[in-house]
């Protein structure tokens, strides 16, 4: 038997290096906790010399920059000869920027305050000296390496500061995904954008090329600063939509925008035309253009041919009022669509808006929200066939109380009512998901009725029940989403 010694254990790896490398990759990039993007590389690099050496050699492990919380308050020197050193205020981010070497960077900045008071009117305090400036001065020199960029804030001031002073002219040739979110979802239920005085000075995220300022007069707007963008998410943030210049998008998400700040019908058509050849996923939550029947210049768009999106396979629509969908239903042609999702936003977010933002719009939105007319509009006017849909999701869609009981009864002329026609006209439907809707009983009668064989078989029926979404907010005191899902696999006759 070998004698015991007080020496440290051997640093020889007990795990093969390739296996150890895989563990590093999984722990860093496949964790559901975004903070692990920076926390895990730091953790494994402190185990022993072998682990630290391997971690430091793997430059891609250090390619994620995650910042949560409000930026540090920095006193700006009065003398122009004295500069603020951002490395001093953010040493950990500086360390990751150095360790990542030339690797493409994933940037996630979340400066939300969970206790932000949305009832306080914002004032324009932008300009030099904003707390976010020091952080962005550290990051923007590495702009050519940005692969993804995500920015989330509570206030419009923080968002406009980023747009005006930091990324507007920044060259990001490798950027593939761009997310700009203002966590103010109540804007979707308002007509007037707040803070309204800033609406006329809204910029576009990236500066178009010279001479491309008059989109409608000089042809499509072009820009060469972000040529590789494929995914764009804009939430709660109006833009100068006429300068839209992301021509090769595969995914476009627009959410929670006040009615007057949404794209006009003409701008929206131009946006979709520019990405018609490539767009695969379209998500519009409280952001669809609204036709004004009193505006003749807008009503002319109602009779135009639908915009054909041959590559679109997924469409998600959320509405605050049923009639807001009239334009989008008639305007998008998607012959290849396989996934459709529709959500009534007010019953979904009402409690949260009233509690967090002290917003009481009950006199407008708490009326009977019958979705049967909207379903009928889809069946009659949607300019593409629903027969190819494989996944259908309905969230928070309500029906008139009397209609719920009458759905199982035959009509006088023998024709099915719109909700029933929708669920029985999808021959390729594989998965039906119903979340807090009045369609559950109807779905059971159509697909799970032992006394009547369904017209088409359904493989999976999910009936979910959950509290309103918490998307766009960080509230540590809020309950986690409670969901009970019932699966009915292989539902056949």
What is the average pLDDT across 41-65?
92
Q: What ranges make up the beta strands (E) of 347-404?
A: 391-395
Window from 266-280, 363-377, 416-430, 448-462 with minimum mean pLDDT:
363-377
Q: Is the pLDDT of residue 414 over 70?
A: no
Assess contact for 288 and 262: CB atoms under 8 A. Answer: yes
Taking only the tens place, the pLDDT of each residue in 322-336 is: 878 888 888 888 889
Paired tokens of 344: 């009534």
The burial of 6, by beta-carbon neighbours within 10 Å (0-12 exposed, 13-18 middle, 19 or more buried), is given as exposed
Question: Bigger pLDDT: 476 or 71?
Answer: 71
Nearest to 153 by CA among 116, 124, 123, 125: 116
The radius of gyration of the chain from alpha carbons, rounded to an integer in Å, stands at 26
E-strand stretches of 278-416: 281-285, 307-308, 314-319, 332-333, 339-344, 391-395
How far lies 62's CA from each of 109, 161, 174, 294, 468, in Å? 16, 27, 17, 56, 36
Whether residue 407 is preceded by a cis peptide bond, meaning omega within 30 degrees of 0, is: no
Q: Given this model, what pLDDT does residue 229 score?
A: 96
- Residue 109: other Cβ atoms inside 10 A: 22
* Helix, strand, coil percentages in the chain from 3-state DSSP, rounded to 5: 35, 15, 50
What pLDDT, on a 0 to 100 scale, did the predictor assign at position 462?
A: 82
Dist. CA 48–CA 69, nearest whole Å: 31
Residues forming beta bridges with residue 460, ordered by sequence position: 431
User: Using CA atoms, how far apart are residues 424 and 456, in angstroms rounded to an integer?
Assistant: 7
230 Ramachandran zone, left/alpha/beta (phi>0; psi -120 to 50): alpha
How, if at all, do strands 251-255 and 281-285 pair? parallel
Strand segments (E) across 38-99: 64-68
Q: What are phi and psi of 464, to 5 degrees?
A: -105, 150
What distance in Å separates the CA atoms of residue 207 and residue 169, rounded to the nearest whole number? Answer: 6
Q: Which stretch of 31-45, 149-163, 190-204, 264-278 has the lowest confidence by average pLDDT?
A: 190-204
Q: Give the span between the Cα atoms of 30 and 375, in whole angstroms.
A: 39
The length of the chain is: 493
Does the pLDDT of residue 230 top 50, yes or no?
yes
pLDDT of residue 377: 81
* CB-based burial label for 444 (10 Å; 0-12, 13-18, 19+): middle
The per-residue pLDDT for 412 is 40
Percent of the chain clearing pLDDT 70 (strictly above): 77
Between 10 and 200, the more confident residue is 200
Min mean pLDDT across 32-46, 66-80, 229-243, 435-449 is at 66-80
Does residue 215 or residue 70 have the better pLDDT? Answer: 70
If one counts every other C-beta atom within 10 angstroms of the C-beta of residue 244, the result is 26
pLDDT of 59 strictly over 90: yes
Q: Residue 370 class from Cβ within 10 Å (0-12 exposed, 13-18 middle, 19+ buried)?
A: middle
Distance CA 72, CA 91 (A): 12
Residue 282's DSSP bridge partners are 252, 315
Query: In the predicted model, is pLDDT for residue 102 greater than 80?
Result: yes
Q: What is the pLDDT of residue 327?
A: 82
In degrees and rounded to multiples of 5, residue 147 shows phi and psi of: -105, -40
Residue 162 has pLDDT above 70, yes or no: yes
- Of 251 and 426, the one with more pLDDT: 251
Examine the pLDDT at 484 and tell me if it is beyond 70. no
Residue 481 near residue 470, CB atoms below 8 Å: yes
Q: Is 142 left (phi over 0), alpha (psi -120 to 50) or beta?
A: alpha
More confident position, 490 or 455? 455
Backbone torsions φ then ψ of 302, nearest 5 degrees: -65, -30
Joined tokens for residue 352: 């949260």
Identify the band that residue 215 occupies on the pLDDT scale cut at 50, 70 and 90.
very low
Separation CA 248–CA 219 (nearest Å): 17
User: Alpha carbon of 53 to those of 13, 29, 46, 48, 278: distances in Å?
Assistant: 12, 19, 10, 9, 43
Average pLDDT over residues 376-403: 81
Token pair 């903070």 in the structure block, residue: 35
Structure tokens at 474: 């960080």
pLDDT at 292 over 80: no
Q: What percent of the chain has pLDDT over 90?
A: 30
Give 338-374 pLDDT, tens digit per residue. 999 999 888 777 776 766 666 655 545 556 677 887 8
Q: What is the mean pLDDT of the chain?
A: 80
Average pLDDT (223-233) is 93
Give the model's pLDDT for residue 355: 64
What is the C-alpha separation between 289 and 260, in angstroms, rounded?
9
Token pair in block for residue 14? 């007990």
Does the pLDDT of residue 128 top 80, yes or no?
no
Q: Who has greater pLDDT, 202 or 23?
A: 23
Whole-structure pTM value: 0.85
Identify the residue with better confidence: 414 or 16: 16
> Is the predicted pLDDT of residue 275 greater than 90, yes or no?
yes
pLDDT given at position 441? 80
Euclidean distance between CA atoms 306 and 214, whole angstroms: 25
pLDDT for the residue numbered 1: 46
483/321: higher pLDDT: 321
Comparing 292 with 438, the larger pLDDT belongs to 438
Can you say how many angstroms the Cα of residue 438 is from the centroid of all Cα atoms in its chain? Answer: 26
Closest CA to 276 of 220, 233, 237, 320: 220
- pLDDT at residue 94 above 90? yes
Q: What local confidence, expressed as pLDDT, does residue 6 receive? A: 47
The reported pLDDT for the residue numbered 469 is 46
């Amino acid at each position: 038997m070998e004698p015991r010694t007080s020496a440290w254990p051997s640093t020889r790896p007990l795990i093969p290096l390739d296996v150890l490398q895989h563990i590093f990759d999984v722990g860093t990039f496949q964790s559901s906790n975004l903070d692990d993007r920076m926390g895990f590389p730091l953790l494994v690099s402190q185990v022993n010399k072998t682990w630290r050496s391997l971690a430091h050699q793997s430059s891609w492990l250090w390619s994620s920059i995650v910042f949560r919380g409000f930026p540090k308050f920095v006193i700006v020197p009065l003398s122009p000869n004295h500069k603020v050193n951002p490395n001093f205020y953010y040493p950990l981010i500086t360390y990751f920027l150095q360790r990542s070497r030339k690797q493409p960077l994933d940037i996630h900045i979340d400066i939300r305050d969970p206790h932000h008071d949305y009832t306080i009117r914002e004032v324009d305090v932008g300009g030099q000296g904003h707390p976010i400036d020091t952080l962005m001065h550290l990051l923007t020199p590495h702009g050519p390496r940005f692969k993804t960029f995500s920015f989330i804030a509570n206030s419009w001031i923080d968002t406009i500061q980023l747009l005006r002073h930091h990324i507007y002219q920044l060259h990001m040739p490798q950027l593939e995904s761009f997310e700009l979110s203002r966590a103010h979802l109540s804007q979707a239920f308002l007509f007037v954008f707040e803070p309204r005085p800033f609406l006329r000075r809204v910029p576009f995220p990236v500066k178009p090329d010279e001479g491309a300022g008059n989109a409608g007069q000089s042809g499509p707007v072009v820009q060469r600063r972000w040529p590789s963008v494929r995914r764009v998410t804009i939430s709660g943030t109006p833009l100068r939509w006429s300068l839209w210049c992301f021509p090769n998008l595969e995914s476009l998400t627009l959410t929670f925008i006040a009615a007057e700040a949404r794209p006009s019908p003409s701008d929206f058509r131009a946006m979709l035309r520019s990405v018609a050849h490539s767009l695969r996923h379209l998500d519009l939550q409280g952001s669809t253009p609204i036709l004004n029947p009193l505006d003749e210049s807008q009503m002319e768009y109602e009779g135009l041919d639908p915009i054909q999106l041959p590559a679109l396979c997924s469409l998600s629509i959320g509405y605050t009022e049923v009639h807001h969908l009239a334009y989008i239903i008639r305007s998008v042609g998607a012959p290849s669509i396989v996934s459709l999702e529709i959500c009534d936003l007010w019953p979904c977010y009402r409690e949260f808006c009233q509690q967090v933002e002290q917003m009481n719009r009950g006199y407008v939105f708490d009326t009977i929200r019958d979705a049967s007319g909207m379903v009928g509009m889809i069946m009659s006017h949607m300019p593409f066939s629903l027969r190819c849909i494989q996944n259908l999701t309905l969230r928070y869609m309500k029906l008139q109380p009397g209609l719920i009981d009458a759905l199982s009864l035959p009509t006088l002329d023998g024709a099915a009512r719109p909700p029933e026609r929708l669920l029985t006209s999808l021959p390729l439907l594989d998965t039906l998901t119903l979340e807090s809707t009045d369609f559950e009983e109807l779905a059971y009668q159509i697909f799970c009725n032992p006394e009547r064989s369904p017209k088409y078989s359904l493989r999976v029926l999910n009936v979910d029940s959950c509290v309103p979404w918490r998307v766009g907010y960080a509230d540590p005191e809020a309950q986690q989403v409670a969901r009970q899902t019932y699966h009915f696999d292989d539902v056949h006759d």
